[in-house]
Structure 1
Amino acid sequence: MKLFKSVYVFSCLLMLLLFGMSQATEVKAPPGNEKAEEATLVLFNRNIVVLRSTVLGMAPSERVKRAQARIDQQLEGVGGHQATAISAAPGMLIQIDGAGSFYIAPEDIDPFEQETLAGVAEQAVSALNHSLQEIQESHNVRAILRAVAYAGLATLVYGGLIWLLLKLRRIAIRKLLSFAHEKMAGLNHVGILLIRRERIHWLMRKGFQLLTWFIVLLLSYQWLGVMMSQFPFTRPWSEHLNGYLFGLIVMLGSSILKAIPDLFVACVIFMLAKLVAKGMHHFFDLVQNRSIEIAWLDADLVGPTRRIAAIALWLFALAMAYPYLPGSGTEAFKGVSVLVGLMLSMGASSLVGQAASGLILTYSRVYRKGEFIRIGEHEGTITELGMFSTRIRNGMGVELTLPNSYVLSNVTKNYSRVVSGDGFVVDTKVTIGYDTPWRQVQAMLIEAARRTPGVLTEPAPKVFQTALSDFYPEYLLICQAIPSEPRPRAEVINLLHANIQDVFNEYGVQIMSPHYLSDPENEKIVGQNDWYKKPASPP
């Protein structure tokens, strides 16, 4: 029911549009024409002739009004009427039943079309006779009844086709859904459905719905043309409809035929680009497998370089093939290009900045995947190097996504780059009073590092006195850990701090961090007997 209502509304709108177009009797002259105006003589909804010049002081619109009044007066008589054309230098006089109706001047000929005065007069006589016959037919009751009968029959056929189309659509959807159910039943892999049935059903229904609407619109178009062709007053509209559809088909067909050579060139360009892309892919595979050694291209940079080269290649191919694409020279294509350029210029500035930062970070080799870094307040192991962002996983197992512009604008500490071999640097700082020998402090810190699982003995841990503060020296312990150990850096640091406390407590040395104001009455150390007070338990 909704479909029939939509078809009815569409038909009414189309008729109103054609009726409004038929009422326009005056149009402005095309650019470059010296005439200020032009007017069309219309009789019984059919265009007879276009008048463009001023004759005896009368503008084209005034000439059209006089001609219409004269023709109405001539048609008041009963019987058939016949239009003819005679020469009336310098123009042609159009007559009905031997009496003058209107005059065609040489200046009425369109200067942009190859027309002659005799040809224009002949066309006007033919259209006028056609209109006279239709006027006579409109007064024939028998002809009107026959037209009504044909229109009713066309409506019944139209309704039957619509009903048949809807029924066929339901049958086709049911058959295809049943077929899809049978085929998708075998697409289960290890208990997981590879294709969602809901999406397949939705696509099938939408596809059939679009196809049905397209056929309904074609049927409605043809039905409307047949209906209008039965009645004299609406017959010109039917001719316009049929002419428009035929012209559209011819235009599309000719455009397709003309576009075939250009499409062939565009296809050749894209095929060449595809061949070059395959060659580049093979080349980058060889570099990544270290079969080819190139000084400027490291194996770690093959991934981003491959993507950048592929994007550049296809953009170049698109730019080369653009002039050969159908419609590339039309105003619509140009408008879309301007719109896309405006959107990119307004909204992609930050995106371009992020991409530029990503390229700088990638090719300057600030860090690599798998290295442990610290950026601002964030530290962790790099899990992904992207064009727009960098992802790191910290010691708590949380993945952080940092914009490349943020990474580039902050100081980056790389704990993996300076180590010998694989691994990352672990460092920590303690402050011990001046009453403790610095040699003893260094030995205790190295002992704590040796007790920590995952800390390498080679290279050996090192201790540096980084500052001699007012109340205590500052000691920095630096050692190297193995990334293959199942402990992340945060856990290694946690074990290192625990061992430092244990070693210092064993030797009775008080750690002065974080603040030191005065010596306490009793040293702040934990005896070995108190290491495992409840609820702690020994290992």
Structure 2
Amino acid sequence: MIRLHLVVLFLFLFNAPLFAEDRADKENTPEPAELVVWQRDIVTFRASIATLSPTIRRDTALRRIQELPEFSLYDPVTAQSVKLGDLNGVSFLSGKRLLFTLVEGDINSADGETLEGLSSSVVTRLDALRIARLEQRNWKINLKGFGISVLATLVLAAFLYGLQKLNRIIRRFFVRSTSKLSTLKQRDLDLRPAFLQISRRITAILISVIGIGACYLWITAVLGQFPFSAPWAAVLGKHVTHLGGEFFSSVLASIPNLLMVVLIFFLTRGTARITTQVLRSFEGETESDSAFAKDTARATRRIASVLIWIFGLVIAYPYIPGSDSDAFKGVGVLLGLMISLGSTGLVNQLMSGFVVLYSGAVRTGEYARVGDVEGVITDIGLLSTKVRTPKNEYVTVPNAVLIAKDTLNYSRLVDDQRTELCTAVTIGYDTPWRQVHELLLRAADRTPGIRENPEPKVVQTALSDFYVAYELRFVPADITRKGAVLSDLHQRIQDAFAEAKVQIMSPNFVAQPEALVLPPEE
């Protein structure tokens, strides 16, 4: 271990001068300074000459160019080779006035630049700057630029006005066309206002983009008419060209992926349609105990369609342009978090819905009793079941509640036998039981809505201290009229017993009254 420490210390001491030299080189490297005159890049100073840093050299060159007299603009810019001690350089002159000098240290060696090539390009730029300053003083050029700018402004105003008119025409067209789209209105769901708003927003965005593009072109055209601002126009044009090139390059690169997405879309839609057609054929099934009854087939069709589209989306997701971007990933994480936090109750309801649908406990159109709710089942969904009570009350029962309570189905056949309804009366022991049976059956025979087959029957359910309990059992013709049939039957029972002078002991009497309790004769 001691030897290892000594080796490390030796290497550090040996390389310490090199490290110090690298740090010194970085500290002594001057910061480049770029010479910009009239929004035009002339040259970049990178080397120091004696005590003159690149920044001082840049400021000195800028001051000399700005202090040139007006008549010097007619003198061409020339370059002369010079030698500054051990340094080879090139001096740039306007007539006989020195502007600045470049040395070999100012060359960007990384780009393979040479001193001759750099001096030639600098002469071209300085000469272009001189011509631009001369043109800026020319009133004909300025007048022409002003006229073209005014004309471009008028054209822009007319174009924006036309865009506004076009926007109104397109809005009226969408209003007329949307009102005729009857497919967007299904029962109480009307999607036409939403479609109209979306179309208006998309139109407004497109019109705005076109207007902004027109304004951008107008600015570029106006700036390009004057020598002083022409470089700004060139920069704006480069930005537009760059953005347009990137956009079209992205579009061309995305074409294969888009074709794959379209192919997956059509395959998914075709599969969903075939599955829907197959399962839709079961929706006409009338047998309640069928494996694919109407409700089950409809729910299965919807579930299968959703699963097929989810599967297609999963396959197509990698081919969607921008799917690997951070924005898509962030949206995916957000959706996953929302689903994981809010899906606990939803999953419970969905699982309960599967149990209700595929167990076949109730079907649409059947008359059933769920807990305290009794009525006709109008709809069975994955989340809840709709019940219409005899009072025409529409009650929504969550499927989780439905499977947690006892369900009594009055419409379901059991061994080809229907559910029996019953009503009970209590009669004293002084009335022969055969007479009570006859009166109850007579009342049932007089009541419409009671099936003759199977025939009604009377059952004695209890022999109490003061009376006998009789129960009349029957099968209604229409179970959905259960309440109306029972009400009518009770009236017939009262009439039959009153005609026979038989007292009904309900409510119970502890002692026999002195006179029979009968309704007055009409």
Q: Fold match, TM over 0.5?
A: yes
Q: 1:146 to 1:444 in 2, by over 3 A?
A: farther
**Counterpart for residue 137 of structure 2:** 142
Q: Is the 8 A contact 2:368 2:376 kept in 1?
A: yes
Choose the corresponding residue for 2:490, options 481, 486, 497.
497
**Deviation of 1:391 (Å):** 1.2
Range with bigger deviation, 167-176 or 378-387: 167-176
Mapped to 1, the partners of 2:472 and 2:114 lie a distance apart of 105
Q: Is the 8 A contact 1:67 1:101 kept in 2?
A: no
Range with bigger deviation, 427-436 or 410-419: 427-436
**Deviation of 1:454 (Å):** 1.3
Deviations along 1:440-497, one digit per CA (max 9) or x if unpaired, are 65655444433322121323345566677888776655432223x8x73322232233
Aligned length: 469
1:439-478 to 2 correspondence within 5 Å? 444-462=439-457, 477-478=472-473
Q: 1:204 to 1:460 in 2, by over 3 A?
A: same
Q: Is the 8 A contact 2:152 2:222 kept in 1?
A: no
**Deviation of 1:220 (Å):** 0.3
Q: Is the 8 A contact 1:431 1:472 kept in 2?
A: yes
2:240 partner amino acid: L
Q: Which runs of 5+ in 2 are unaligned?
A: 1-25, 94-98, 183-189
2:306 partner amino acid: I
Mapped to 2, the partners of 1:278 and 1:161 lie a distance apart of 51
Range with bigger deviation, 243-252 or 168-177: 168-177
Mapped to 1, the partners of 2:354 and 2:236 lie a distance apart of 58
2:408 partner amino acid: K
Q: Quick check: 1:75 aligned with 2:61?
A: no
Mapped to 2, the partners of 1:504 and 1:240 lie a distance apart of 107
Report the TM-score when normalising by structure 1. Answer: 0.68
**Counterpart for residue 222 of structure 1:** 217
Give the secondary-structure state (helix, strand or coil) at the position aligned to 2:263.
helix
1:71-220 to 2 correspondence within 5 Å? 71-78=61-68, 79=72, 97=93, 99-100=100-101, 116=111, 118=113, 130=125, 133-134=128-129, 137=132, 141-143=136-138, 146-147=141-142, 149-151=144-146, 153-164=148-159, 166-167=161-162, 170=165, 210-220=205-215
Choose the corresponding residue for 1:273, options 268, 276, 279.
268
Q: Quick check: 1:242 aligned with 2:232?
A: no
Aligned residues: percent identity?
29
1:365 partner amino acid: G
**Counterpart for residue 407 of structure 2:** 412
**Counterpart for residue 377 of structure 2:** 382
Give the secondary-structure state (helix, strand or coil) at the position aligned to 1:363.
helix
1:493 partner amino acid: L
Q: 1:179 to 1:466 in 2, by over 3 A?
A: closer
**Deviation of 1:296 (Å):** 4.8
**Deviation of 1:375 (Å):** 1.6
2:396 partner amino acid: T
1:501 partner amino acid: Q
**Deviation of 1:118 (Å):** 2.4
Give the secondary-structure state (helix, strand or coil) at the position aligned to 1:488.
helix
**Deviation of 1:369 (Å):** 0.9
**Deviation of 1:323 (Å):** 1.1
Range with bigger deviation, 294-303 or 305-314: 294-303
**Deviation of 1:432 (Å):** 5.6
Give the secondary-structure state (helix, strand or coil) at the position aligned to 1:460.
coil
**Counterpart for residue 510 of structure 1:** 504
Q: 1:208 to 1:286 in 2, by over 3 A?
A: closer
Q: Is the 8 A contact 1:373 1:413 kept in 2?
A: yes
Mapped to 2, the partners of 1:102 and 1:518 lie a distance apart of 131
**Deviation of 1:260 (Å):** 1.9
Mapped to 2, the partners of 1:412 and 1:159 lie a distance apart of 79
Mapped to 2, the partners of 1:435 and 1:381 lie a distance apart of 43
Deviations along 1:386-423, one digit per CA (max 9) or x if unpaired, are 22221111112222222222323332221222556596
Q: 1:280 to 1:176 in 2, by over 3 A?
A: closer
Q: Quick check: 1:426 aligned with 2:416?
A: no
1:529 partner amino acid: E
Q: 1:220 to 1:520 in 2, by over 3 A?
A: farther
Q: Which has the larger radius of gyration?
A: 2
1:325 partner amino acid: I
**Deviation of 1:322 (Å):** 1.2
2:519 partner amino acid: G
Q: Is the 8 A contact 2:354 2:382 kept in 1?
A: yes
Give the secondary-structure state (helix, strand or coil) at the position aligned to 1:250.
helix
Deviations along 1:61-98, one digit per CA (max 9) or x if unpaired, are x977546434434434414667899999xx99897657
Give the secondary-structure state (helix, strand or coil) at the position aligned to 2:387.
strand
2:65 partner amino acid: L
**Counterpart for residue 527 of structure 1:** 519
Report the TM-score when normalising by structure 2. Answer: 0.70
Q: 1:269 to 1:180 in 2, by over 3 A?
A: closer
Q: Quick check: 1:402 aligned with 2:374?
A: no
Give the secondary-structure state (helix, strand or coil) at the position aligned to 1:43.
strand
1:509 partner amino acid: Q
Q: 1:94 to 1:268 in 2, by over 3 A?
A: farther
**Counterpart for residue 327 of structure 2:** 332
1:322 partner amino acid: Y
Q: Is the 8 A contact 2:295 2:357 kept in 1?
A: no
Q: 1:300 to 1:425 in 2, by over 3 A?
A: farther
1:496 partner amino acid: L
- Kindly report the root-mean-square deviation, in angstroms, between the aligned alpha carbons of the 2 structures: 5.2
**Deviation of 1:381 (Å):** 0.5
Q: Which runs of 5+ in 1 are unaligned?
A: 1-33, 110-114, 188-194, 531-539
Q: 1:208 to 1:155 in 2, by over 3 A?
A: farther
Mapped to 2, the partners of 1:316 and 1:92 lie a distance apart of 72
Give the secondary-structure state (helix, strand or coil) at the position aligned to 2:395.
strand
Range with bigger deviation, 351-360 or 202-211: 202-211
Mapped to 2, the partners of 1:348 and 1:50 lie a distance apart of 63
Q: 1:435 to 1:354 in 2, by over 3 A?
A: farther
